[in-house]
Amino acid sequence: MDRSRLISLGLLFYCGIGWGAAVAIAKIATTGGVHPLGYVFWVAIIAALILTGICVLRGTYPGGTKQHLRYYVIIGGLRIVCANVVWYTTVKYVPAGALAVVLGLTPIFTYAISLMLRLEHFAALRAGGLSLGFVGVVFFVAPRESLPDPSMIPWLLFGLLAPLTYSLANILIERLRPNTGNSLSLTTGMVWFGAIVMLPVSLLTGAFHVPSYPPSAPDLAVFGHAVISGFAFFALFEMIRLSGPTYASQLNYVVTLTGVLSGIAFVGEAPTWWMWAGTACVLSGVALVNKRQAVNG
């Protein structure tokens, strides 16, 4: 294996394990008293500072034209504000492993939306993946034995808005991409927008979190998630630069599996057989939806 492939493999596992574990970490923070809105702000601002530091070292900075600002507002609004508020709220009420699987539906939703907008052509194999993803969700919400408490079902369905919002952002990321700027500078601007928006939102709603000293477990969870996200964004850019977006698409499998396993390891979750079946369906669905990308890559 050549050096660039070895580096890409390391970055893949860093991003996958980090973002997968972040689901359980978010559960520790939100169940420990950190309001989801305050959580979004702290993760965004710390990640933005980390990315800004990397921008300074690389001599690249976020653009400030109208085109750039529109990009930050739309993509940052979808990914950092809307999607993160949904999943940081949902993780408080449902098992971390279940939410990790739901977040893994993002490629499936992206394909479904692209089909509806006629940005993609119908392909039987990929449509089969779409169906498997739907079956996976049914396995989570239909049997009474799937989740620890049936009252979690509405929250899990609410959580579907997160991958839906991520999917909309995925479709718009390239279509709205400014003519100047690289992925690092654009994402830095996007994350800064999320932090700037969430500061007054968390303050006005009384959801702002004031870290304690010495830091509590929820405070450490917030900081840990933010550091993971800040460096994972940069790792993702480098992985795509070295090996391309098709290689990076494998990230979904690592994130989903790590999310399930971290829920077991960190918060003592015990997934039912229905949940494992749903996980298998979602992962298989993602594999089929990504099939054409792998062939063309």
Q: pLDDT per residue over 215-273, tens digit each?
A: 999 999 999 999 999 999 888 888 877 887 667 778 888 999 999 999 999 999 999 99
How many structural domains is the chain composed of?
1
Asked if residue 284 has pLDDT above 80, the reply is yes
**Is residue 144 in a domain?**
yes
**Is residue 85 in a domain?**
yes
**Is residue 251 in a domain?**
yes
pLDDT grade for 61, boundaries at 50, 70 and 90: very high
pTM above 0.85, yes or no: yes
pLDDT in tens, 138-196: 999 888 888 989 899 999 999 999 999 998 988 888 789 898 888 899 999 999 999 99
Asked if residue 279 has pLDDT above 60, the reply is yes
Q: Helices marked H in the chain — which ranges?
A: 3-31, 36-58, 66-76, 84-90, 96-103, 106-116, 124-141, 153-159, 161-175, 183-204, 217-243, 245-248, 251-267, 273-289, 291-296
pLDDT grade for 23, boundaries at 50, 70 and 90: very high
**Is residue 42 in a domain?**
yes
**Is residue 22 in a domain?**
yes
**Is residue 2 in a domain?**
no
Q: How far is 56 from 213, CA to CA, in rounded Å?
A: 30
**Is residue 1 in a domain?**
no
**Is residue 199 in a domain?**
yes
Domain that holds residue 32: 7-296
Q: Classify residue 93 by its DSSP letter.
A: T
